[in-house]
Chains A and B, each alone.
Chain A
């Protein structure tokens, strides 16, 4: 009712000024975001397109689409060792994620549902790992793993990865458990269920959403882990994708387009996983807030 008192022409002028400003702003924002979109995505598209060319074509016209799509580059990359690296990454990632989730779930249950002597200390003991840079422990880890005879085995990657994965995953699951109502657990206790029975049949099913998110975040972290793989593995046969790709590109030096095919093969699993599971992914990030 208020605005009906202002004369019609003033109202129209205001309307136009606001909407003109609004649309210029909107245009600028879309322009900025459009440019950023190109910056974010084009490097990968450039690699993808050029991975189908010959090296000569790459040097001549790296902007153009390939005249003939050479799938041979992919075959060459695959046979050159990428296949083996992928297998190793799958093995290391699977075992690490299973161990991190299993161990963290038990610890989170203990910390979220029991009061006991030293509980605060143990909570800080586990979460304190978030603050430590893996670089600091690199040299002693090298000695420990050598001493245990685990140097240059899958376990040399798995065990440090698990140790550095536990703090965040435990934190994530514990926070989620604290937010769950205790009614089901109490009912089960009255019905005479054992502690571990309740854990298996009540708590785990309720925690499924956060377990999915935690598994995804962990899988991505371990799949992309570089430093432990670089330091504790010498055998080509055991290298994971991130480390193997470096050896691969070093060995192929001048065959750029085959290297590009190798890059694309290595990137695809994570891109697909991310696009397929965005929602669980973001939920994990939201629940964890931040990680180091």
Chain B
């Protein structure tokens, strides 16, 4: 009996230890180490750490690329919220209403979701070809309908590059967010809608007075995830423009990668990563606070 008790005591720890060890070594220790490394000047060629205090952080304040990158991150976050939260929610509500026949509904759902299963490079290179100045689909289309003067070298011009990249992200993720909303809407008890219909509520009234309040939590969480995503975006920017031309489409993530692994200034890149950590952490904290006050009321 004693051995059984001992076993019963030790078992949960043994079950959890592999997960804890892996996460400690590859998630938590790196995050802490990152702050430490940001206090040094070092590179991958010369990995000896030379202590320079907060110099890397002072450099952030004077770096002219930082404001451009942060502006692009903000644009990315705002446009993504407009499409992946508001627009996706409207699409989900329409698909779950009776306007669309179920047969077509499932076709639309699958088709809109499809881009989100593709690798970021598949998406990025496909759209590079679509944006391409001469053979690309968009400029060919504009010329075909007589709007040739609107044609741009979308990814090659400083004024359009970041918007071209953000647009591709919306193309890839709106359907994914729509599905998350659909799942949330399906969990709302049908009786609520029946009662509203008996009282003569219109589809609009049902949407604003039942759907939105009932999936409030999903909207909130998805909004924060989207905003955080806008600040940590790296892959699609790197694949499509690598931050160019002339850093016009750079983001914090892209710039940190360039500084670290192209310019080999690891210390400064660590400081940039710390900045990214602080921003995402603050956003998560705000979300948790809002979520909690929502539950109390």
- Which residues does A use to contact B, with CB under 8 Å? 25-26, 29-30, 33, 36-37, 39-41, 43-44, 46-47, 58-59, 62-63, 103-104, 106-107, 109-111, 114, 116, 119, 122, 125-126, 129, 131-133, 135-144, 146, 159-160, 162-164, 166-167, 170, 195, 220, 223-224, 226-227, 230-231, 241-243, 245-246, 249, 256, 259-260, 263, 266-267, 270-271, 273-275, 278, 282, 285-286, 289-292
Contacts and interface: CB of A to CB of B under 8 A. Distances in A.
Most buried by A among B33, B118, B238: B118
B266 A107 contact: no
B192 to A, nearest CB: 19
B125 A246 contact: yes
Nearest to B267: A139
Given A135-B253, A137-B30, A141-B30, A104 B12 contact: no
Given A47-B126, A126-B23, A245-B122, A110 B11 contact: yes
Interface in B232-285: 232, 234-235, 238-239, 253, 256-257, 260-261, 266, 269-270, 273-274, 276-277, 280-281, 284
A109 B15 contact: yes
Contacts of A241: 119, 121
B260 A246 contact: no
B27 A137 contact: yes
B218 interface: yes
A131 B280 contact: yes
A107 B15 contact: yes
A46 B137 contact: yes
Nearest 10 Cβ contacts at the A-B interface: A110-B15, A137-B30, A163-B26, A140-B30, A114-B12, A107-B19, A140-B33, A110-B12, A224-B119, A133-B232
Interface stretch (B63-71, B106-114, B146-154, B289-297): B106-114
A111 B202 CA distance: 46
15 contacts: A37-B107, A44-B114, A110-B14, A111-B16, A114-B12, A136-B30, A137-B27, A138-B260, A143-B37, A166-B19, A224-B117, A227-B235, A246-B121, A267-B118, A270-B118
A25 B204 CA distance: 13
A136 B276 contact: yes
A13 B140 CA distance: 49
B114 A116 contact: no
A133 B280 contact: yes
B228 interface: yes
A197 B194 CA distance: 48
Nearest to A137: B30
B29 A129 contact: no
Contacts of A140: 29-31, 33-34, 37, 270
Contact of A163 (B11, B25, B99, B124): B25
Contact of A136 (B115, B119, B277): B277
A274 B118 CA distance: 10
Contacts of A138: 256-257, 260, 273
B104 to A, nearest CB: 8
B180 interface: yes
Interface residues of B, number: 86
Contacts of A231: 257, 261
Interface string B13-43: 1111011101101110111011001000000
A47 B266 CA distance: 39
Interface of B: 7-9, 11-16, 18-20, 22-23, 25-27, 29-31, 33-34, 37, 44, 47, 91, 94, 99-100, 104, 107-108, 110-115, 117-122, 124-130, 134-135, 137, 140, 171, 175, 179-180, 183, 218, 221-222, 225, 228-229, 232, 234-235, 238-239, 253, 256-257, 260-261, 266, 269-270, 273-274, 276-277, 280-281, 284
Given A26-B99, A140-B30, A266 B119 contact: yes
B31 to A, nearest CB: 5
Contacts of B11: 110, 114, 195
Given A133-B277, A167-B23, A256-B135, A139 B270 contact: yes
Contacts of B22: 103, 159, 162-163, 166
Contact of B218 (A40, A44, A290): A290
Nearest to B26: A163
A267 B30 CA distance: 33
Given A106-B19, A256-B135, A282-B183, A116 B9 contact: yes
Contacts of B27: 129, 132, 137, 163-164
A135 B112 contact: no
B181 to A, nearest CB: 11
B114 A271 contact: yes
B115 to A, nearest CB: 6
Contacts of B94: 29, 33
Contact of A226 (B37, B113, B117, B121): B121
